[in-house]
């Protein structure tokens, strides 16, 4: 797969991952219930697995770069808005009341952590280099490289001047 196709596939995976990660973190376990919600725990675990796959994936560094930029920008917008004296409740009027705590956690904590992890995974230069396939087959009419020189194998047995100990010598 060529580098361009690989990066395009990575971009598609990265764009699709952004709402999946956000939904997984919004639906994750909340402190409001006294009983463990297994569906919410599974959603959080699935989100963690998705983040791990994006961070360690060999698909393309773009697959972790795009969600990393999105979540870092979300965290950055929250910090800038709060630092400039703006309302810290970005878009809270659009969020259902049941999800307000989870949305606040996504904005104020999770988005910076997730963005940092995914951006860090994209920074390494080795992820941006093209994969090396197997050795290219020689083209038609091209001679293969010469074999390495061989060391001649000694056909005569080398013996020392002294006879080997054994039953014939009596030693």
The series of mean pLDDT values per 10 residues for the chain, 171 residues long, is 67 82 75 66 85 80 88 86 74 77 80 88 76 59 75 61 62 55
pLDDT value of residue 158: 59
Give residue 11's pLDDT. 78
Per-residue pLDDT, 29: 61
Closest C-alpha among 84, 74, 80 to residue 26:
74
In terms of pTM, does the model score above 0.75? Answer: no
In sequence order, the 6+-apart residues with CB closer than 8 A to the CB of 113 are none
98: Cα separation from own chain's centroid: 33
Q: Look at the block and give the residue holding tokens 């080997």.
A: 164
pLDDT of residue 53: 85
The residue written with tokens 């860090």 in the block is 120
DSSP string across 73-88: HHHHHHHHHHHTT--S
pLDDT digits (tens, 9 = 90+) for 8-20: 777 788 888 888 8
Residues 6 or more apart whose CB falls under 8 angstroms from that of 69 comprise 115, 119
Q: Alpha-carbon distance 137 to 135, whole Å? A: 6
């Amino acid at each position: 797969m060529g580098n361009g196709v690989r990066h395009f596939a990575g971009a598609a995976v990265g764009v699709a991952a952004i709402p999946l990660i956000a939904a997984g973190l919004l639906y994750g376990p909340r402190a409001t219930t006294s009983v463990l919600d297994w569906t919410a725990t599974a959603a959080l675990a699935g989100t963690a697995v998705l983040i791990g796959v994006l961070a360690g994936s060999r698909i393309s560094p773009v697959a972790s770069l795009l969600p990393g930029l999105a979540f870092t920008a979300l965290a950055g917008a929250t910090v800038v808005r709060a630092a400039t004296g703006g309302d810290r409740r970005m878009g809270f009027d659009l969020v259902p009341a049941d999800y307000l705590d989870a949305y606040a956690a996504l904005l104020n904590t999770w988005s910076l952590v997730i963005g940092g992890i995914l951006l860090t995974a994209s920074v390494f230069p080795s992820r941006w280099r093209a994969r090396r396939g197997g050795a290219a087959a020689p083209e038609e009419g091209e001679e293969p490289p010469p074999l390495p020189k061989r060391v001649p194998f000694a056909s005569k047995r080398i013996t020392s001047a002294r006879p080997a100990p054994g039953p014939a010598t009596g030693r």
